[in-house]
């Protein structure tokens, strides 16, 4: 998935973060912004749930407050999915405590009564990527990082394909950055007889 970098006019091949160190460096960079807590939570939710950016920014406080899971109808596919928040409940609660009473959206825009736009979310995440010297980071990095991490932990591409609503395992593996070389290396490491 490529994005155009508006500053340089070049195409960016957005990639997953493949190590906890990279993830933690980006979380730290996000925390340095004016809205650090918000930006960190947006990223943590993205890499922990695999939701598309459009679905993330449109989350409401009511959907997530005090909940370990919730159901969402994904914007792109219109399919219902359960999202699990167990590991983020404390972060969500701490962040919600900083919001003005009556705030509707979890990630409210400073302009008007809506939520942060996907374009603004991209700018936030790409800027943090630049801060850590990684120019292949965008909003899709969150979803791809979720997929890559899930796959590395479980090797369950069939379930990941279902989570992502992809039509084939090949699409899912290519999407999360499992290259032909890594597939070849994994096959070479197996003894069949």
Q: Is 115 a catalytic residue?
A: no
Strands (E) across 74-130 are located at 80-84
User: Among residues 76, 78, 110, 111, which one is catalytic?
Assistant: 76
Backbone angles phi, psi at 57, to 5 degrees: -65, -20
Contacts of 158 by beta carbon, 8 Å cutoff, 6+ apart:
169
CB 1 within 8 A of CB 175: yes
User: Among residues 38, 44, 52, 144, which one is catalytic?
Assistant: 52
d(CA 162, CA 148) in angstroms, rounded, equals 14
Q: Is 148 a catalytic residue?
A: no
d(CA 99, CA 52) in angstroms, rounded, equals 23
CB under 8 A, 24+ apart: contacts of 163-166: 163/50, 163/81, 164/50, 165/74, 165/77, 165/79
Q: Is 175 a catalytic residue?
A: yes
User: Among residues 38, 44, 115, 140, which one is catalytic?
Assistant: 140
d(CA 29, CA 128) in angstroms, rounded, equals 5
Q: Is 106 strand, coil or helix?
A: coil
User: Among residues 44, 143, 148, 151, which one is catalytic?
Assistant: 143
Q: Is 84 a catalytic residue?
A: no
Q: What stretch of H or E contains 22?
A: helix 20-30
Alpha-carbon radius of gyration of the chain:
17
Q: Is 76 a catalytic residue?
A: yes
Q: What positions carry a catalytic annotation? A: 52, 76, 140, 143, 166, 175
């Amino acid at each position: 998935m490529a994005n155009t970098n508006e500053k340089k006019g070049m195409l960016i091949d957005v990639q997953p973060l493949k190590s906890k160190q990279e993830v933690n460096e980006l979380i730290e960079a996000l925390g340095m912004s004016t809205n650090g807590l918000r930006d960190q939570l947006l990223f943590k939710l993205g890499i922990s749930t695999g939701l598309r950016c459009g679905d993330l920014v449109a989350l409401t406080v009511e959907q997530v407050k005090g909940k370990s899971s919730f159901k969402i109808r994904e914007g792109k596919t219109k399919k219902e999915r359960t999202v699990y928040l167990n590991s983020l409940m404390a972060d969500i609660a701490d962040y919600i405590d900083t919001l003005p009473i009556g705030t509707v959206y979890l990630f409210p825009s400073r302009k008007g009564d809506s939520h942060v736009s996907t374009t603004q979310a991209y700018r936030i995440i790409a800027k943090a990527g630049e801060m850590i010297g990684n120019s292949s980071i965008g909003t899709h990095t969150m979803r791809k990082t979720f997929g890559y991490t899930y796959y590395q932990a479980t090797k369950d591409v069939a379930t990941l394909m279902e989570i992502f609503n992809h039509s084939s395992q090949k699409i899912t593996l290519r999407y999360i950055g499992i290259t032909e070389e890594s597939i070849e290396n994994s096959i070479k490491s197996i003894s069949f007889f």
